[in-house]
Amino acid sequence: MNRTIFLKKSKWVLFFFLLIIQYPNVAVGQNLINGTVTNSTGVGIPGVSITVKGTTNGTITDVNGSYQLSASPKDYLNFSFVGLVSQEILVGDQVMINVIMKEDVVDLEEFIVIGYGVQKKSDVTGSVSSIETEGLKKNLSPNIDQALQGRAAGVMVISNSGSPGANASVNIRGIGSVNNSDPLYIVDGVPLGDISTLNMQDVESMEVLKDASATAIYGSRGANGVIIIKTKGGKRGKAIFNFSGRLGVQSPGNKIDFVTAEQYANLRNQARMNDQINYPNEDWHAMPELADPASLGKGTDWFDAVTRNAVIRNNQFSVSGGSEKVTYYMSINEMLQEGIMNGTDFSRLTFRLNNSYHLNKVLTIGHNINISNSKRNIIPEWGMGNVSKQKILTNALGHEPITPVYDPNNPSSKYGYTKLGGNYENPVARVDYHNEYNKLFSVQGNIYADWKINDNITFRTNYGLVAASNEYRNFTPKYEVSPLQFTNNSSLNITNGRQFSQTWTNTLNYILSYGNHNFTTLVGQEFQTEKYSAIQSGIMGIPDNISKPSFSAGDISTATVNDNLYESALLSFFGRVNYNYADRYLLTANLRMDGSSKFGADNRWGIFPSVAMGWNLHNEDFWPKNSIITHTKLTAGYGKIGSQNFGNYMYYSQISGGQYYFFGSGNHLHTGAAPLMLGNPNLKWEASVTSNVGVELGLLQDKITLGVEYYDKTTTDMLLQIPIPDYSGIQTAPWTNGGELKNWGWEFTGTYKHQVSEKFSFNVGGNFSLLRNKMIDWGTENGFVDDGQFRGFPLLTRTQAGRQMSEFYLLKTDGIFQNEEEIRESAQPDAKPGDIRFVDTDGNGQIDDNDRDYCGPALPKLTYGFNLNATYGNFDITAFFQGVHGNKVFNGMRYYSDRSGVWNMNPNLMNSWHGEGTSNTIPRLTERDAETNLRASDYFLEDASFLRLRNLEVGYNIPSTVTDRLNLQNIRLSVSGQNLFTITKYTGMDPEIGKEPIDQLAYGIDRGVYPQARIISLGLNVTF
More confident residue, 526 or 174: 526
780 pLDDT higher than 80: no
14 pLDDT higher than 60: no
Q: Residue 240 corresponds to which amino acid?
A: I
> pLDDT band at 548, cuts 50/70/90?
confident
What's the pLDDT score for residue 17? 36
300 pLDDT higher than 70: yes
Stretch 122-131: mean pLDDT, rounded? 81
Stretch 562-588: mean pLDDT, rounded? 92
> pLDDT band at 82, cuts 50/70/90?
low
907 pLDDT higher than 90: yes
Instruction: Give the separation between CA 937 and CA 927, rounded to whole angstroms.
Output: 19
Instruction: Give the separation between CA 362 and CA 360, rounded to whole angstroms.
Output: 6
* C-beta of residue 74 within 8 angstroms of C-beta of residue 91: yes
What's the pLDDT score for residue 625? 80
What's the pLDDT score for residue 384? 63
Stretch 600-615: mean pLDDT, rounded? 90
Short-list 318, 345, 321, CA closest to 333:
318
What's the pLDDT score for residue 31? 84
Mean pLDDT of the chain: 87
Short-list 275, 278, 398, CA closest to 927:
275
400-418 per-position pLDDT tens digit: 999 999 999 998 899 999 9
Q: Residue 298 corresponds to which amino acid?
A: K
1016 pLDDT higher than 90: yes
Sign of CA dihedral 79, 84, 86, 89: negative
190-229 per-position pLDDT tens digit: 888 788 899 999 999 888 888 888 888 887 777 888 888 9
* C-beta of residue 899 within 8 angstroms of C-beta of residue 929: yes
Angle at 471 between CA 470 and CA 477, to 5 degrees: 160
* C-beta of residue 713 within 8 angstroms of C-beta of residue 734: no
Report CA Rg, the chain.
33
20 pLDDT higher than 90: no
DSSP assignment of 618-657 equals GGSTTS---SSEEEEEEEEEEEEEEE--S-SSTTS-EEEE
Instruction: Give the separation between CA 274 and CA 900, rounded to whole angstroms.
Output: 11
* C-beta of residue 228 within 8 angstroms of C-beta of residue 114: yes
503 pLDDT higher than 90: yes
Instruction: Give the separation between CA 592 and CA 641, rounded to whole angstroms.
Output: 9
* C-beta of residue 599 within 8 angstroms of C-beta of residue 685: yes
More confident residue, 386 or 37: 37
Instruction: Give the separation between CA 133 and CA 187, rounded to whole angstroms.
Output: 14
Stretch 732-750: mean pLDDT, rounded? 89
243 pLDDT higher than 90: yes
465 pLDDT higher than 60: yes
> pLDDT band at 6, cuts 50/70/90?
very low
387 pLDDT higher than 90: no
Stretch 975-984: mean pLDDT, rounded? 95
What's the pLDDT score for residue 29? 62
Instruction: Give the separation between CA 65 and CA 1, rounded to whole angstroms.
Output: 49
Write the DSSP symbol of residue 420: S
Instruction: Give the separation between CA 996 and CA 454, rounded to whole angstroms.
Output: 54
Beta bridge partners of 580: 518, 586
Short-list 808, 865, 688, 699, CA closest to 135:
865
Instruction: Give the separation between CA 953 and CA 1019, rounded to whole angstroms.
Output: 10
The alpha carbon of 323 is separated from its chain's Cα centroid by a whole number of angstroms, namely: 38
Short-list 378, 584, 517, CA closest to 1010:
378
What's the pLDDT score for residue 127? 85
Number of H helices, E strands in the chain: 11, 52
252 pLDDT higher than 90: yes
The number of beta carbons lying within 10 Å of the beta carbon of residue 171 is 21
Instruction: Give the separation between CA 111 and CA 123, rounded to whole angstroms.
Output: 10
Give whole-number Cα distances, 783 to 26, 466, 762, 802, 803, in Å: 73, 41, 53, 9, 10
**What's the whole-model pTM score?**
0.85
Beta strands 668-677; 982-984: pairing state: unpaired
346: left (phi over 0), alpha (psi -120 to 50) or beta: beta
368-378 per-position pLDDT tens digit: 999 999 999 99
**For every residue of 235-285, which 3-state class applies, written as one string?**
CCEEEEEEEEEEEEEEEECCCCCCCCHHHHHHHHHHHHHHHHHHCCCCCCC
56-77 per-position pLDDT tens digit: 788 888 877 888 888 999 999 9
Short-list 58, 69, 63, CA closest to 35:
69
* C-beta of residue 160 within 8 angstroms of C-beta of residue 166: yes
Give whole-number Cα distances, 650 to 599, 647, 655, in Å: 8, 6, 12
283 pLDDT higher than 90: no
What's the pLDDT score for residue 3? 40
